[in-house]
Amino acid sequence: EVQLVESGGGLVQPGGSLRLSCVASGFTFSNHWMQWVRQAPGKGLVWVSRVSSDGGNTKYADAVKGRFTISRDNAKNTLYLQMNSLRAEDTAVYYCARIGIVAGISAAGGPFDYWGQGTLVTVSS
Amino acid sequence: DIVMTQSPLSLPVTPGEPASISCRSSQSLLYSDGHHYLDWYLQKPGQSPQLLIYLASDRASGVPDRFSGSGSGTDFTLTISRVEAEDVGVYYCMQALQAPRTFGQGTKVEIK
């Protein structure tokens, strides 16, 4: 059974830092691109960042570029999101999601076929 | 960035009746490989989103066949042939053609 379990959320002051983790199980983690998606309270889904299966290719939303860093440790089956210089507008539930592998299309273009349960990040003084 | 626009934003439905949600993109989602890179997700109350449809019309594993996706270019539709009570929640379309991936605003489906 595919499982994605996030952790590391919590309350942090503006300007502070947090590192989120997402532990994967039930599949070959190193074969899949991975993503972070966030959802502010009562709002919709917003893509945050993605990383290639080998960790060498990353992309970020403009809202987090220069402040967040996505990475992965394939030996530990774990995805990370290092969040620095946090702002009130970063308050959200953060989900990790797996990009599914679909025959005939690029590895980056697949759907988000599995999602974690999310971890809440609250930025407030 | 590609802008995704859903309608309606709220959809009261009657169990057993059909329902449809529209999603429009600001540019064509057709790629040179012939696929339309449009996915549909459902977020049930208190849960994480779940994949329903990918590549505009391919149903994800385990998704009931009452859900179907259609459309091309910039206009797409999610159809539920006969709504069941368990289908309530917020439905999102998302373009997977290019980064950043962008979602529609969401359509809240609730039982009348």
Contact call for A45 and B99, based on CB within 8 A: no
Chain B residues with beta carbon closer than 8 angstroms to that of A37: 49
Give the model's pLDDT for residue A117: 98
Q: Is pLDDT at A109 greater than 90 in this prediction?
A: no
Tell me the backbone φ, ψ of residue B59, rounded to 5 degrees: -80, 135
Question: Which of B59, B101, B107 should one mutate to test binding to chain A, selecting the residue with the greatest count of A CBs within 10 A?
Answer: B101
Euclidean distance between CA atoms A30 and A49, whole angstroms: 17
Question: What is the pLDDT averaged over residues B70-94?
Answer: 98
- Identify the band that residue B101 occupies on the pLDDT scale cut at 50, 70 and 90: very high
Nearest CB partner across the interface for B49, out of A45, A102, A104: A45
Q: Is pLDDT at A105 greater than 90 in this prediction?
A: no
Q: Is pLDDT at A20 greater than 90 in this prediction?
A: yes
Euclidean distance between CA atoms B71 and B82, whole angstroms: 20
Q: How many residues does chain A have?
A: 125
Mean pLDDT (chain A) is 97
Tell me the backbone φ, ψ of residue A10, rounded to 5 degrees: 160, -170
Give one DSSP letter per residue of A77-90, joined into a string: TEEEEEE-S--GGG
Give the model's pLDDT for residue A106: 84
pLDDT (tens digit, 9 = 90+) per residue, B16-62? 999 999 999 999 999 999 999 999 999 999 999 999 999 999 999 99
B13, B103 contact by CB (below 8 A): no
Question: What is the pLDDT averaged over residues A91-97?
Answer: 98
pLDDT (tens digit, 9 = 90+) per residue, A36-72? 999 999 999 999 999 999 999 999 999 999 999 999 9
Chain A residues with beta carbon closer than 8 angstroms to that of B54: 100, 102, 110-111, 113
- Identify the band that residue A107 occupies on the pLDDT scale cut at 50, 70 and 90: confident
pLDDT above 70 as % of chain A: 100
Give the model's pLDDT for residue B18: 97
